[in-house]
C-alpha cells in the first residue's frame, strides 16, 4: 500500500536530486566521484539538477531524507547501499519511506547464482538474496558487472526513484545500458546544457565579478565565476538543442568578456598557463630554460607535464643553495653577500647567466622566501623575485609579496603562475 504523501512540486519542473548513501563518504574514506559523473550526465540531458545530498548507512536517516526529497523533486537518483551486507539498506529504506512491502524476484536469484561460485552462495545465501527484494511494481535495472540490481520506481505520482550501486564501474554501465534512455524519454525535452569556460590570470575573482554584474543575472546563457589558486574562471552555460545553437547563444557574451578583459584572459576550457606558453613559443620556434631557487623545480615540472614541451623546453638549473648559484650560474659570492639570494640583482643575474649557459632564447629565474620560516622584516615570507631574459637583451624584473598567510605550496604555485603569465604577456605584446 502506498503512503498518502502530498506531492507539492510542479510536475513540469523536472527537478532532479542525487542522494549518495554510505558512511564511508561522510568519513572521507572515499571521494564521491559518482555524484560528479551523474551531474555531468544530467547536464547532457538538459535536466535541472537542484541538489546533492549524502547520508550514512542509517535506516531512519535514509527514510527521512527520501521523504523530504519526494516533496520537492520529480526525480531522485541514489547510489550506494544495494549490496548484500547488513549496512546495505537503500532498497529497504526506500520501501519503508512509502509503506510498501518488498517482494522477491526469483529470476534475479537465479542470475546471482550464475554469477557466483557455489562456495560463496553456500556461505552468504541469505544475505545475497536480499538483493532480489523490490517493490512489486518496480522496474529492475540489470547489473551486468555485479550482483546488486537497481530499480526504477514511481512510489507516488510525479516522483520517480532510480537506484544504483556505489561501485562506479557498475553504476556507469547500468546508467548507460538502461537509465539514460529511460530518463531521456520520460524527463528530457531534448535540450542540453553546453558550457564554455574562459580562464583569467593576473586578476582576482572579486574584481572580475564587480565588472560583470549585469552578466551574472542572465538566464540563458548563465555566467558563473569561480576561482582556483592563481586563476579565475568564468563558465558560460547555454541551454540549447544542439552545440551550434549553444555556440550562437554564448558568442555575444564571450565577445563582450574578451573585449573587457583582453589582457587577463589567457585561454579557454582545457587551456592552462603552461600549455599556452608552450603553444606561443612553439609558434615562434623559440626555446626556454629556467633557473629555480624557491620553487625547487616546480616551474620546470609545470611545463614538462604537458605533451610537446620538449619542442621548446631545454632544461633547468635548480640552484637552491648559494654554493650552486655560484658554481652553476656564476653568481659572484660578492653579489650574494651584498644583496642576498632573494634580491632583484641576484635573480636578474640568474636569468641572464642561465640563458647564456644553456643557450636558449628565453630564461626565467625565480628566487624567494616560501616559508613558513626564513623571513625577516626586510624580506618577509612571501617575498619573491622573478626575472625574465629574452632575445635582444630584453629583461623584465618582477617583485611580488604574497600574503604571509599563504602556505609554502601556495606561495610556490602562485610564483609559478606569475612567471608563466608574465612571459605570456611579454609574448603577447611582441606578437
Which residues fall within 8 angstroms of residue 4, CB to CB, at 6 or more apart?
none
Tell whether omega for the bond before 221 is within 30 degrees of 0, i.e. cis. Answer: yes
With cell 635548480, the residue in question is 318
Note whether 128 and 161 are same-domain residues. yes
Length of the chain, please?
A: 431
Note whether 320 and 205 are same-domain residues. no
Residue 420 is part of a domain; what is its CATH number? 3.90.950.20
Note whether 178 and 240 are same-domain residues. no
Give the residue among 17, 19, 11 at the shortest CA–CA distance from 50: 17
- Digit-coded pLDDT (tens) for 328-353: 999 999 999 999 999 999 999 999 99
Q: Which of 168, 186, 204 is the last residue of a domain?
A: 186
What was the pLDDT predicted at 115?
A: 83
- Digit-coded pLDDT (tens) for 138-147: 999 999 999 9
Cα(342)–Cα(366) distance, integer angstroms: 9
Tell whether omega for the bond before 372 is within 30 degrees of 0, i.e. cis. Answer: yes
- Digit-coded pLDDT (tens) for 54-73: 999 999 999 999 999 999 99
Please tell me which residue, 12 or 418, carries the higher pLDDT value: 418
Residue 324 lies in a domain: yes
Note whether 51 and 168 are same-domain residues. yes
Does the pLDDT at position 135 exceed 90? yes
Cα(313)–Cα(364) distance, integer angstroms: 12
Note whether 200 and 343 are same-domain residues. no
Note whether 30 and 176 are same-domain residues. yes
- Digit-coded pLDDT (tens) for 124-134: 677 888 999 99
Give the 3-state secondary structure of the chain.
CCCCCCCCCCCCCCEEEEEEECHHHHCCCCCCHHHHHHHHHHHHCCCEEEEEEEECCCHHHHHHHHHHHHCCCCEEEEECCCCCCCCCCHHHHHHHHCCCCEEECHHHHHHHHHHCCHHHHHHHHHHHHHHHEEECCCEEECCCCCCCCEEEEEEECCEEEEEECCCHHHHHHHHHHHHHHHHHHHCCCCCEEEEEEEEECCCCHHHHHHHCCCHHHCCCCEEEEEEECCEEEEEEEEEECCHHHHHHHHHHHHHHHHHHCCCCEEEECCCCHHHHHHHHHHHHCCCEEEEECCCCCHHHHHHHCCCCHHHCEEEEEECCCHHHHHHHHCCCHHHHHHHCCCCHHHHHHHHHHHHHHCCCCEEEEEEECCCCCCCCCCCCCCEEEEEEEEHHHEEEEEEEECCCCCCHHHHHHHHHHHHHHHHHHHHHHCC
- Digit-coded pLDDT (tens) for 236-259: 999 998 989 999 999 999 999 999
Residue 138 lies in a domain: yes
Note whether 388 and 323 are same-domain residues. yes
Cα(422)–Cα(245) distance, integer angstroms: 36
Residue 309 lies in a domain: yes
Note whether 368 and 306 are same-domain residues. yes
Q: Which of 171, 186, 201 is the last residue of a domain?
A: 186
Residue 317 lies in a domain: yes
β-strands 394-401, 383-390: how paired?
antiparallel
Which residues fall within 8 angstroms of residue 279, CB to CB, at 6 or more apart?
none
Does the pLDDT at position 369 exceed 50? yes
Please tell me which residue, 5 or 42, carries the higher pLDDT value: 42
**Number of domains, the chain:** 3
With cell 548484500, the residue in question is 84
Q: For 300, phi and psi rounded to 5 degrees?
A: -65, -45
Give residue 419's domain range.
Answer: 273-429
Residue 111 is part of a domain; what is its CATH number? 3.40.980.10
β-strands 102-104, 150-156: how paired?
unpaired
Note whether 284 and 211 are same-domain residues. no
What was the pLDDT predicted at 190?
A: 82
What was the pLDDT predicted at 78?
A: 98
Note whether 321 and 345 are same-domain residues. yes
What was the pLDDT predicted at 2?
A: 38
Burial of residue 52, with CB atoms counted within 10 A of its CB: 0-12 exposed, 13-18 middle, 19 or more buried:
middle
Amino acid at each position: 500500500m502506498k503512503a498518502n504523501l502530498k506531492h507539492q512540486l510542479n510536475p513540469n519542473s523536472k527537478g532532479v536530486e542525487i542522494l549518495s548513501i554510505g558512511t564511508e563518504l561522510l568519513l572521507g574514506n572515499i571521494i564521491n566521484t559518482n555524484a560528479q559523473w551523474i551531474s555531468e550526465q544530467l547536464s547532457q540531458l538538459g535536466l535541472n539538477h537542484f541538489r546533492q545530498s549524502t547520508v550514512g548507512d542509517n535506516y531512519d536517516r535514509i527514510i527521512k531524507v527520501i521523504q523530504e526529497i519526494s516533496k520537492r523533486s520529480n526525480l531522485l537518483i541514489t547510489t550506494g547501499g544495494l549490496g548484500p551486507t547488513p549496512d546495505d539498506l537503500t532498497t529497504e529504506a526506500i520501501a519503508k519511506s512509502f509503506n510498501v512491502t518488498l517482494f522477491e524476484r526469483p529470476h534475479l536469484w537465479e542470475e546471482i547464482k550464475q554469477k557466483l561460485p557455489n562456495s560463496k552462495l553456500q556461505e552468504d545465501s541469505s544475505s545475497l538474496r536480499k538483493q532480489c527484494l523490490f517493490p512489486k511494481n518496480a522496474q529492475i535495472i540489470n547489473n551486468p558487472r555485479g550482483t546488486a540490481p537497481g530499480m526504477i520506481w514511481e512510489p507516488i505520482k510525479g516522483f520517480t526513484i532510480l537506484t544504483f550501486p556505489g561501485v562506479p564501474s557498475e553504476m556507469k554501465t547500468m546508467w548507460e545500458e538502461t537509465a539514460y534512455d529511460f530518463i531521456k524519454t520520460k524527463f528530457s525535452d531534448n535540450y542540453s546544457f553546453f558550457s564554455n569556460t574562459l580562464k583569467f590570470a593576473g586578476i582576482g575573482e572579486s574584481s572580475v565579478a564587480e565588472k560583470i554584474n549585469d552578466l551574472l543575472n542572465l538566464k540563458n546563457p548563465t555566467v558563473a565565476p569561480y576561482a582556483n589558486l592563481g586563476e579565475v574562471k568564468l563558465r558560460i552555460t547555454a541551454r540549447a538543442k544542439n552545440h551550434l545553437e549553444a555556440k550562437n547563444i554564448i558568442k555575444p557574451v564571450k565577445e563582450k568578456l574578451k573585449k573587457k578583459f583582453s589582457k587577463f584572459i589567457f585561454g579557454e576550457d582545457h587551456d592552462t598557463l603552461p600549455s599556452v606558453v608552450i603553444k606561443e613559443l612553439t609558434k615562434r620556434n623559440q626555446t626556454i630554460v629556467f633557473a629555480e631557487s624557491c620553487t625547487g623545480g616546480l616551474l620546470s615540472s609545470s611545463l614538462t607535464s604537458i605533451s610537446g614541451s620538449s619542442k621548446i623546453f631545454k632544461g633547468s638549473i635548480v640552484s637552491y643553495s648559494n654554493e650552486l648559484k655560484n658554481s652553476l650560474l656564476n653568481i659572484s659570492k660578492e653579489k650574494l653577500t651584498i644583496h642576498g639570494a632573494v634580491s632583484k640583482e641576484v635573480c636578474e643575474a640568474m636569468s641572464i647567466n642561465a640563458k647564456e649557459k644553456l643557450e636558449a632564447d628565453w630564461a626565467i629565474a625565480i628566487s624567494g622566501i616560501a616559508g613558513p620560516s626564513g623571513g625577516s622584516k626586510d624580506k618577509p615570507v612571501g617575498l619573491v623575485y622573478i626575472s625574465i631574459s629574452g632575445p635582444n637583451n630584453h629583461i623584465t624584473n618582477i617583485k611580488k609579496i604574497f600574503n604571509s598567510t599563504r602556505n609554502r605550496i601556495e606561495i610556490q604555485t602562485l610564483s609559478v603562475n606569475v612567471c608563466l603569465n608574465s612571459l605570456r604577456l611579454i609574448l603577447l605584446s611582441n606578437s
